Amino acid sequence: MANCPSCGHNISDTARFCTRCGAPIMQPGSSSEDVATRRLPSDERPTGLSAGRPTGPAYVPPESPFDSPVTPPPSATPRAASVDLGRWLSEGWQVYRNNAGTFSAAFFVMVLLSLVTLTFLSGPLLAGFYHMVFKSMRGEKPQVGDLFRGLDRFWPAVFAWIIEVALIGALSGPSREYALFSLISLALTPLVNAVFFFVYPLIMEQQKDTVAALEQAGRAVFPRNVLPFWVCGLIFEVIFFIGFLGCGVGFFITAPFILCAMAVAYRDFFGLAGPWSRESWPPMWMDQQR
């Protein structure tokens, strides 16, 4: 057996062309001019015409037909990004508005299933909701059924939800009776929420387990961005609860809107794999408005 000089594929000793890449194979004692397509005798030619001149070496297509840059995969290490609350809210609102009906319907389904299962499915469904948002940011059309893609990361998302509920419960429980615990809760709860901005997207997008996702999310928040993320977490909480005004109907607008803003924050700190992932990300709605 011989090897193709172009791609290294194993070929037979008598082969004239590589079966994988089509490169001509030089036989011992022959030159490149000898490597040509075999000419059929006149009696074997389907047209009955005389044989023409031998063709040249077989055409070898390039490995990539397009000279497009290779996009690196998303980094698990937080990038040197800064908290930009105003832009996150602005872009998050545009992402939500682009598929408002789908996002609100999906959030309604998520709340309903969470209540039926005593919040056991809240973590996986949150991961699935982020998957929907990222599809929209990639220019794809999200569907309500995409919500259940979070079940593919069921246990990491469930464990993350249990940890989040335990932390929030521990911070909010004693604060009802002691003023000191109220201050501690006010200081730490927005930071806990800020960390979990990134936990579910990391579990869903980068296939991280719960511990690794918590570690990477914590590195994005602490220690450099503690104060900006505290403000961001507090503002997001306020917007969440504003939705409860008016019999709670607005909650199905404000909540998915804030989740879209969180997805934009995740993109800034961790990036998204694909040609849309670059520093100056062009949102899809800008192209539609031109």
Question: Average pLDDT, stretch 56-71?
Answer: 52
Predicted confidence (pLDDT) per residue in 21-49, tens digit = 777 777 665 555 444 455 555 555 555 55
User: How many domains, the chain?
Assistant: 2
Q: Based on the fold, state whether residues 139 and 3 are members of the same structural domain.
A: no
Q: Does a structural domain hold residue 26?
A: yes
Q: Based on the fold, state whether residues 205 and 128 are members of the same structural domain.
A: yes
Q: How far apart are CA 161 and CA 17, in angstroms?
A: 58
Q: Based on the fold, state whether residues 101 and 21 are members of the same structural domain.
A: no
Instruction: Say which residue the tokens 């409860």 belong to.
Output: 244
Q: Based on the fold, state whether residues 174 and 102 are members of the same structural domain.
A: yes
Instruction: Name which of 46-50, 163-167, 189-193 the model is least confident about.
Output: 46-50
Instruction: Say which residue the tokens 């570690």 belong to.
Output: 215
User: What backbone torsions phi and psi does residue 283 show, to the nearest 5 degrees?
Assistant: -60, 150
Q: Does a structural domain hold residue 72?
A: no
Q: Does a structural domain hold residue 64?
A: no
User: What pLDDT score was predicted for residue 59?
Assistant: 61
Predicted confidence (pLDDT) per residue in 65-80, tens digit = 444 444 445 555 566 6
Q: Does a structural domain hold residue 37?
A: no
49: left (phi over 0), alpha (psi -120 to 50) or beta: beta
Q: Give strand ranges (E) for 9-133.
A: 10-11
Q: Does a structural domain hold residue 289?
A: no
User: What pLDDT score was predicted for residue 193?
Assistant: 93
Q: Based on the fold, state whether residues 122 and 20 are members of the same structural domain.
A: no
User: What pLDDT score was predicted for residue 208?
Assistant: 96
Q: Based on the fold, state whether residues 15 and 116 are members of the same structural domain.
A: no
Instruction: Name which of 109-113, 153-157, 236-240 the model is least confident about.
Output: 236-240
Question: Average pLDDT, stretch 241-267?
Answer: 91
Q: Based on the fold, state whether residues 5 and 136 are members of the same structural domain.
A: no
Question: Average pLDDT, stretch 113-141?
Answer: 96
User: What pLDDT score was predicted for residue 14?
Assistant: 75
* Exposure b/e, 36-54, CB count within 10 A at least 16 = b: eeeeeeeeeeeeeeeeeee
Q: Does a structural domain hold residue 204?
A: yes
Give the structural domain span for 147.
85-271
Q: Does a structural domain hold residue 116?
A: yes
Q: Based on the fold, state whether residues 26 and 95 are members of the same structural domain.
A: no
Q: Does a structural domain hold residue 45?
A: no
CA distances, 275 to each of 124, 140, 191 (Å): 27, 13, 32
Round the average pLDDT of the chain to a whole number and report it.
81
Does 203 have pLDDT greater than 70? yes
> Closest Cα to residue 242, out of 231, 253, 227, 233?
253
Burial class (CB in 10 A: 0-12, 13-18, 19+), 32: exposed
Contact 161, 119 (CB under 8 A): yes
> Closest Cα to residue 134, out of 205, 203, 212?
205
Q: Based on the fold, state whether residues 104 and 193 are members of the same structural domain.
A: yes
> pTM score, two decimals?
0.69
Does 276 have pLDDT greater than 50? no
